[in-house]
Every structure is written in structure tokens, then in C-alpha cells.
Structure 1
Amino acid sequence: MEQESYREEHFVLEAEGYRLPAALTLPSAQAVKWSVLLLPGSMSNDVDGNYPGTPMRPHMYADLARQLAARGHAVLRYAKYGDGAGAEIVDKQRVGRDGVFARQRYIAETAISRLRELVPQARGLALAGHSEGSVHAMLLAQQPTMGIDALISLSGPALRYMDLFIHKAQEMAKEQGEIIDFGAFKVNAAHYIRVFELLRAGQPFPEEIKADPTMAFFVQNWDPANPQGHEGRQYMRDYDAIDPCQEIARVQCPVLIVQGGMDDSGVHADNGERLYQARHAIDPARTRLAFFPELQHFYKRAASFATPQAAMAMDEETDSRVCDAISAWLHEQID
């Protein structure tokens, strides 16, 4: 993309005890139409939407921000704390005040206020939440005090957190049998499913799971009987308490759901349709689904034969058709 079509301002967003690298991307040669806040997903990411320490460098947040700015929209994005993300803790007491899951929503609230200050001339403010970020966006959009004018769900889950993993394992077991292969690891399907059911209930793992060598990682890190890992387990339970289909139906502003048909990230390709149906049943006139059959979780074009790991590691520019769909839909909301 030609940089002349946008300009970018980098700064630090201070929220909830963190200093987070942030970027505001603006159109260069036209008036601002909408302001858009990008809410990141579940993993630690840098300001561009890359995941330090992993093979995943999709830079989707930077791509989408620049593409939207070229079409007249102002976009704010920010990093999520973690090793290599460029963020830092400046107030440990404040960071520890809230749980990991809720903390991301409070950070987004601060970002919303900052975006309004930076781009007061925008015709409306939209939340674009990616993956887990879409769940936080749904909850924020329900709050009248936030004044959100539009919601965009980007590869958002339709199932509760634990059910994402349970559903995936059940589908894989139908094809592979007792032992299922995720590529990076193999597990006993029944024990794997039981682990998430026990996590949801907050119950310790039984001896049969502890004795299963394929469950060693989960026992070490997730067994509620172990004192270590408490914060991570609480995060999963807090996330699991949210039913995205129920929450998206409660959103009062217009909703656009964007989903790739090659999404196999834990969020599955049918999640977009599930969210659409839940919301469409309540407010059909202001609900839209933009489905791209050949795109994966970060909206890269994935071959049908690509492994999930290979698909997630794709690093070409985010498909501009996604931006075109978002921009056209936002324009309709102004009309």
C-alpha cells in the first residue's frame, strides 16, 4: 500500500497500570469519516498485531488500520502486554486489581476515550474486535455511556471459551478416533475434553488424567489442585462465563460480522454464521455477515491443503476485500 494514502502517529497508551505502544492511523488527503478502535485478541501482540516468540507475524492490525485510513477512516490500535510486545508494567498494584479477562475491557475503555480526544471530528466511533477482542467489544457496545455507533466482529467466537476446544476435539475424534493429532501435539480425546469440563467446574483432575502422558502439560499447568497457574485458570473461567451469541444479541448498534472460511484457530469457520443468526433473529435490518471462504483467522488467503499451523503463520498483506467490506458497511451506517 502506498504510504501517501495514510499517515501514522505513534504514542504510548497508559491504562490499568500498563504503558502500551499505540498507533493512530489517519487518512492523508481526505476528511475523517469514522474512527475505529481495534481490540486485540487473546495472545500478547505488538502494536502491529504480531505475536513475539511465535511463528505468527500476520501484522493484521497494522494492515487493516492502513487500509481503512486509505479509505477515509481513523484507526487506533495498541499492543497487548507480554514478552517482546514492547509494553511495560508501571503500576503492579493496579495491574493486579482486576482479572486478566476483565482487564482487557478496561484498557479498551481508556482507548475509546483517547480516540475520541484524538479524532473529535469523526462522524461515528466503531469498535472492531478481533477474536477474543470481539467479545470485549460486544460487552462495551452494550454500555450506553460508551456511545458506540457500530460494532465489527473480526473472527469472533460464537461458543463459550471451553466449548471452542470441546467442540473442536469432538469433531476431530469423529475422524481420528481415540487419539487426536493437533499437529504440534497429540492427546487422548476423551481426557482432553474432560480437562476443559473440569476447568469450567473448578474441579481437580482425577488420577486417570494425571496418569495419561498425553495430558502432562495440562496437568502441570491447569490442574486446579496446583497453586501455580491460578491466574491463567481464572482467565479461562472468566472468558468461559460469556456466551457470545447471547451478548451479540444484546448490542443496540449496527453489527457487522466478518469471518473467514479457512479459520481453524480455535474459532471455527461456522462461528460467523452462528453469531449472525443469533443477532439477525433480534435485529435483522442492522445485522450483516461478510464471509470470505478462502481466508483464515487473520484474513490471509489459505490453501485448502495447508495445515492449521502453516495457515496461521502466513505473513502476506491482509486481504483488502475485508477492508472494502468494512468501509462500505460503515458508509452505509452514515447514510
Structure 2
Amino acid sequence: MKKLQFIAVAVLFALQLSAQQKEEIYNLQTETGELKGSLLLPESDQKLPVVLMISGSGPTDRNGNNAMMQNNSLKMLAEGLCKNSIASLRYDKRGVGESKGVMVSEADLRFEHYIQDVKEWITKLQKDSRFSEVIVLGHSEGSTIGMIAIQDLKVAKYISVAGPGFAAGDIIRKQLKAQPPFVLQQAEPILTKLEKGEMVEDTPAFLAALFRASVQPYMISWMKYDPSVEIAKLSCPVLLVQGTTDLQVKVEDAEALAKANPKAKKLIVEGMNHVLKEAEADRMKNFQTYNNPELPLKAGLLKGIVEFVKE
């Protein structure tokens, strides 16, 4: 009997929750196809702020997942915002998830493709009469994309979550320092040339995956942007969110962004990693959280973002 009562309560709670929020398909037509998105709406008779979420690098989908990991970080963040009367739009970027067919060839892809997509999403949301204002939130590489995209558009606020504070070339150099010294020695002249906007014809075989000819145009387009330079161009309120146990982006990145934009607010979340979950600094234990969709968001993250949005 008690078990049946528990099930009835659970069903009732689920029905109440679904009545308080609505997720609808929200797509964007681009020159190369339709980007697929999910708009999560709280139940309200009033206009609401809406947060556009931009996922990180690689094949990361609207929920913060890819084929190798499922953590639902961005989905959880959207649901948390919804419970606080904040709408959100998250989407599969070109080449990922349901937007896979929108991708251009690797040789034709540029960093600006992602920037332009964000601009068009913002324009669509600004024309939607259900929303009072548009806030942009970029996670990881999405942080850099977002801060560039909004420079020519009037958005209410900007939120960088685990956003790099240094240019792509320097990020790659830091990553290669973890390899035997000869790896960076061989890569350095290639990076220098790409940073100058020049293609490299001959690369060592062991670096071919990183510097293959078809990906070099994209790398050149990516390397010309320095996040610390770009964030200084923003006039809207800015929130910089960074976890202390993030293995991919460090607190020093947030500090670099804050130095470039002194008016920005910082939210340093103790014990939060790159997928916004509680994690130890230990590398193996940290990465275990990347594939745990049941693990909740780190406490303090949602509260800080909600407070910033509602200020």
C-alpha cells in the first residue's frame, strides 16, 4: 500500500512539474540547413528573460553530451533556470546531434560559422514577443564564440562558464607541454605560422591528426581571436564563472578575463569541474563525473547565475 502511495505521489509531482514548464522545438534556418534547438519555458503570463546557451568544443550537443560522455550538464542548467522563472534555449551546433546535416566540409569550416549562428539565434529570440531580454551564456569554447557574437548586438547580459582566457595557440602550447619536449618543439613552428594566417604544407606524421591540411583553415580562423581582447569590447554586464577543479580551463583563465574587463563579476565555485559537477582534483576521479548524468550540478552554480540574471 505504501509503495502505491509513493508511486502516486511521484506521478503527481511529475505532472505538476510538466505543468510548470514546457519544452518546445525551436529551430533556426541557416544558409546550409536548419539548426535544431530546445526552448524550455516556465509557465508564465508575463514576458521572461531567456538565456541562449552555447556548448563547448568538439561534438558537444545541446545537453552538454557527446558520444563518449553523458553528463547532461547543460540540460540540468536549463531545467534549473526554468524552476527560477528563466527561459532558455540550447541547441545542437552545426555538425552535432540533430544539426549534423548543417555542417559544411572540414576544409570550408571557419570559427566565424559558429559566431554567425549565435548572432542569428539572438536575432530570432529578440523578435520573439514572449521574452523580455536575451542573455547569452557560453560554456568552454562557447564562451569565446558568445563574447564575439554579441559585440554587434544589444543583449542584456553575458555569462562565461569555464571560458578560456587565452588565445588558441597558447592553449595548444599548454596542452602540448604535457607531452615529451620534442612534441612542442616540432609543433612550435607550425603554430607560429598558423597564427600568422599561413598554411603549413609539411607536418610530422605524429602531428598530422592535429595539423592536417583540411583543419588548418579553421585553426587559422580560431587563432586570430584572443578572449582577453574580445571580452574587453563588451559593454553589457558580464559574469565569469569558473570551477576550482576544472582540468581543462583554470581559475587563471577567469582572472585573465576579469583583468581585461574589470567591471565583470566573478563566480569562483569551489570543487566544480569542467562539466559543472562536484569533483576532486584527482584526474581519474574527476573524469568519472563526465559520464554520470545522475550527478547534480555543483551547489552554488545555479544560484549565482540566477542572481546575476535577475539583478
TM-score range, shorter chain: 0.7 to 0.9
Look up the match of 1:321.
300
Look up the match of 1:108.
118
Give 1:289 shift.
Answer: 0.3
Look up the match of 1:330.
309
1:89 aligns with 2:101: yes
AA of the residue aligned to 1:62: K
> Which 5+ residue runs of structure 1 have no aligned equivalent?
171-179, 181-186, 224-228
Look up the match of 2:83.
70
- Distance in 2 between the 1:245 and 1:297 partners? 20
RMSD: 2.7
Alignment of 1:1-335 (within 5 A): 2-29=17-44, 31-52=46-67, 54=68, 56-82=69-95, 85-89=97-101, 99-118=109-128, 120-143=129-152, 146-170=153-177, 180=178, 187-192=179-184, 194-202=186-194, 204=200, 210=204, 216=206, 218=207, 220-223=208-211, 229-265=212-248, 267-280=249-262, 284=263, 287-307=264-284, 309-315=287-293, 316-319=295-298, 321-332=300-311
Q: Kindly, what percent of the aligned residue pairs are identical?
A: 23
TM-score by length of 2: 0.83
- Distance in 1 between the 2:136 and 2:64 partners? 16
Look up the match of 2:5.
none
Give 1:66 shift.
Answer: 1.2
The alignment covers a number of residue pairs equal to 290
Give 1:11 shift.
Answer: 3.7
Look up the match of 2:10.
none
Give 1:33 shift.
Answer: 3.3
- Distance in 2 between the 1:194 and 1:311 partners? 34
- Distance in 2 between the 1:264 and 1:16 partners? 36
- Matched-pair contact (CA < 8 Å) for 2:176–2:183: no
Give 1:81 shift.
Answer: 3.2
- Distance in 1 between the 2:309 and 2:223 partners? 31
- Matched-pair contact (CA < 8 Å) for 2:140–2:162: yes
3-state DSSP of counterpart to 2:137: strand
- Matched-pair contact (CA < 8 Å) for 2:193–2:200: no
Shift in alpha-carbon separation, 1:298–1:222, aligned structure 2, 3 A: closer
Shift in alpha-carbon separation, 1:237–1:323, aligned structure 2, 3 A: same
- Distance in 2 between the 1:3 and 1:276 partners? 39
> Which 5+ residue runs of structure 2 have no aligned equivalent?
1-13
Give 1:197 shift.
Answer: 4.6
Shift in alpha-carbon separation, 1:124–1:317, aligned structure 2, 3 A: same
